[in-house]
Amino acid sequence: MTRIAPVLTVLAILVGLWYAAVAPMNIRVALDQAQRDGVAVVPDTPVARREAGIVGLLVQNAGVIPATYDLDRPRLPTPGQVGAELWKTTGEMVMNGRAFSKRGLIYHGWITLQSTLFGFALGTALGIIGAVAIVYSRTMEMSLMPWAIISQTIPIVALAPMIIVLSSQVGIEGRGVPKAIISAYLCFFPVLVGMTKGLRAPGPEQLDLLRTYSTPGWQSFLKLRLPTSVPYLFTSLKIGIAAALVGTIVGELPTGAISGLGARILIGDQFGNPLAIWAALFAAAILAGALVTLLGWTQSVVLRRMGMGL
Amino acid sequence: MSWLWGAIVFWLGAWAVNAGLARSPWHRTVPVRVIVPVLFGAALLVLWEGVVRHFGVSPVILPAPSAIAARFAAETAILWEDFRQTVLKGALSGYLIGCSAAFATAILIDRSAFLTRGLLPIGNFVAALPIVGIAPILVSWFGFDWQSKAAVVVVMVFFPVLVNTVQGLREASAMQKDLMRTYAAGYWQTLLKLRLPAAMPFVFNGLKISTTLALIGAIVAEYFGSPTRGMGFRISTGVGSLSIDLVWAEIAVAALTGSIVYGAVSLAERWVTFWHPSQRS
């Protein structure tokens, strides 16, 4: 309880701020709408309204304020509207037996999830291999580590359209692969750094002990270094999966993809449907939260089974 | 044949030199630490060049580094114009506004332990979200010019800096705070002389994460509409019109900018938090 109460308070403050912002953000749209419906609004020409300040418009047209919370195409929808749109494109479609319809967010979320998991697996594998190479070869460490750091300062999304063109020219079918490459790139680095730290975590006494047992190198890797690195690995996996999701969505955004949450954002933008954008954004947030929570659970189960849990 | 073999031989030679240097007794000295990664990068470039030339890869798919460098040198005027639009106007102003807003919010919210406990999990969650998806909304709110790009950057850098600053402000230990009390230091004196300096390693962590985010935000926001200049604009139109070497030149500018800004923030960190164990060699 003591941990939930503050979180709920902050959430309530944020939602309150959001509701308060809706009226000033939407008042101009709502006034245009009201005038078309024949309601008298105070500066009665659109030009005069463009000149007028937001506060003045709100005070002079207090009667229109309720309408700002109920627009079809608001500049800023209310949380309630976003929730309703989310329900309409997920829950309601399930109830109608069309859960995987292409018009629902479940289908698009699934497409995004596939690329994310594929990229996550690829990035994690590369990160772990890189970490092993770095721990066992000083040449690799000195050559690779600076570049791994520099690679993170490069805005990878600049490369996203390029990667898609390249892979289609090389003959890779489907849009899943280029998106997965971008996610793999983003989740590679946290795993590499965390895993390097983890593999180096055993202290000299522990390594010396294994040496007195005359343990071969691969056994000390399997029985000491690898188990010690697991907590570090999970911490970076949680960062990595969130980064992989960001990568997939960014890969879908600028490239004319037709399915996936990023594509829903893009299409919502092109068709002037802000509710679709907001619903897709929240679906992405829910997906990110679910993935990180899932990894957190796996982490606590695995660590408990390994005897490292709390 | 010769291009590919030349490149492979160069790669092997560079690797042998690197291996020798890494095993040599000087492997901890600064010049070796610089030479090894530079040689590794150069070998990669030579390999790229060799593969492109040997297989005659079409410049529409993958231009050779030399072609990109030539284009870079020929188009400095365009590149500079895009750099000014995207980095100086969009990313930099958004970065400054976002970081200072987050810093101020952190100091305000830090006065209430209750709100801080609530904010940290939420902020950590939001910082992991694909916030960049908000770009089309902000472009429709603030128009096509750099203001909307700065707005995207503000939203993207806000939460990482906020979370790190709030965490950093909790860093000063109870004993240190008690010492300040025995000196009869007020809230502001404690803040300025103890808690803010103690928070600086965390603040710089957030600032460093944000440098990359700022560039990403400014570039992606341009995919959703921009005036006819800017790095994101040039990249998306360049891919469409198959002037791929110009796109790579823009990417080189973005990569250089990202690395230089990151390096500058790291230098500032070294200068400000010289007392921290991680900065002492």
- B141/A246 Cβ within 8 A: no
Distance CA A51, CA A47 (A): 7
Three-state DSSP string of chain A: CCCHHHHHHHHHHHHHHHHHHHHHHHHHHHHHHHHHCCCCCCCCCHHHHHHCCHHHHHHHCHHHHHHHCCCCCCCCCCHHHHHHHHHHHCHHHHHCCCCCCCCCHHHHHHHHHHHHHHHHHHHHHHHHHHHHHHHHCHHHHHHHHHHHHHHHCCCHHHHHHHHHHHHHHHCCCCCHHHHHHHHHHHHHHHHHHHHHHHHCCCCHHHHHHHHHCCCCHHHHHHHHHHHHHHHHHHHHHHHHHHHHHHHHHHHHCCCCCCCCHHHHHHHHHHCCCHHHHHHHHHHHHHHHHHHHHHHHHHHHHHHHHCCCCC
Three-state DSSP string of B197-240: HHHHHHHHHHHHHHHHHHHHHHHHHHHCCCCCCCHHHHHHHHHH
Q: B94 near B210, Cβ under 8 Å?
A: no
Confidence (pLDDT) at A146: 80
Distance from CA of B249 to the nearest CA of A (A): 11
Confidence (pLDDT) at A257: 66
Nearest residue of chain B to residue A143 (CA atoms): B37
Residues in chain A within 8 Å Cβ distance of B141: 75
User: Which of A2, A151, A153, A248 should we substitute to test contact with B (largest number of B Cβ atoms within 10 Å)?
Assistant: A153
Confidence (pLDDT) at A256: 61
Across A27-43, average pLDDT: 78
Distance from CA of B26 to the nearest CA of A (A): 13
pTM over 0.90: no
Q: A189 near A148, Cβ under 8 Å?
A: yes
Which amino acid is residue B118, in one-letter code?
A: G
Q: Band the pLDDT of B98: cuts 50, 70, 90.
A: very high
Confidence (pLDDT) at A135: 86
Confidence (pLDDT) at B97: 95
Task: Say yes or no to pLDDT of B281 above 70.
Answer: no
Task: Say yes or no to pLDDT of B249 above 60.
Answer: yes
| Token reading at A188 | 């590679």
Confidence (pLDDT) at B1: 56
User: Which of B129, B159, B256, B260 should we substitute to test contact with A (largest number of A Cβ atoms within 10 Å)?
Assistant: B129
Domain positions in chain A: 4-76, 105-305
Partner residue opposite B130 with nearest CB, options A142, A246, A268? A246
Per-residue pLDDT of A146-203, as tens digits, reads 888 777 777 776 677 777 777 777 766 666 788 888 889 888 888 988 898 888 888 8
Task: Say yes or no to pLDDT of A134 above 60.
Answer: yes
Residues 6+ apart with CB under 8 A from B147: none
Closest residue by Cα to residue A235 from A290, A150, A292: A292
Partner residue opposite A157 with nearest CB, options B137, B220, B261? B220
Residues in chain A within 8 Å Cβ distance of B251: 154, 158-159, 162
Count A/B contacts: CB-CB distance under 8 Å.
165
Q: Decide which of B281 and A277 is more confident.
A: A277
Task: Say yes or no to pLDDT of A1 above 70.
Answer: no
Nearest residue of chain A to residue B232 (CA atoms): A158
Distance from CA of B182 to the nearest CA of A (A): 31
- CATH number belonging to the domain at A105-305, selected among 1.20.140.10, 1.10.3720.10, 1.20.210.10, 3.10.20.30: 1.10.3720.10
Task: Say yes or no to pLDDT of A310 above 70.
Answer: no
Per-residue pLDDT of A246-286, as tens digits, reads 888 888 876 666 788 888 888 888 887 888 888 888 889 88
Which amino acid is residue A55, in one-letter code?
A: V
Which amino acid is residue B131, in one-letter code?
A: I
Cα A96 to Cα A102, A103, A280, B212, distances in angstroms: 14, 13, 20, 44
Residues in chain B within 8 Å Cβ distance of A14: 122
Distance CA A292, CA A188 (A): 17
Residues in chain A within 8 Å Cβ distance of B132: 157, 246, 249-250, 253
Q: Decide which of B155 and B28 is more confident.
A: B155
- B36/A142 Cβ within 8 A: yes
Residue A68 exposed, middle or buried by CB count within 10 Å (0-12, 13-18, 19+): buried
- B248/A3 Cβ within 8 A: no
Number of other CB atoms surrounding residue B177 within 10 Å = 14
Confidence (pLDDT) at A175: 66
Task: Say yes or no to pLDDT of A44 above 80.
Answer: no
E strand or H helix at B265, and its extent? helix B244-272
- A250/B130 Cβ within 8 A: yes
Considering chain A, what is the average pLDDT of its residues?
A: 83
- B133/A262 Cβ within 8 A: yes
User: Which of A140, A142, A295 should we substitute to test contact with B (largest number of B Cβ atoms within 10 Å)?
Assistant: A142
- A158/B254 Cβ within 8 A: yes
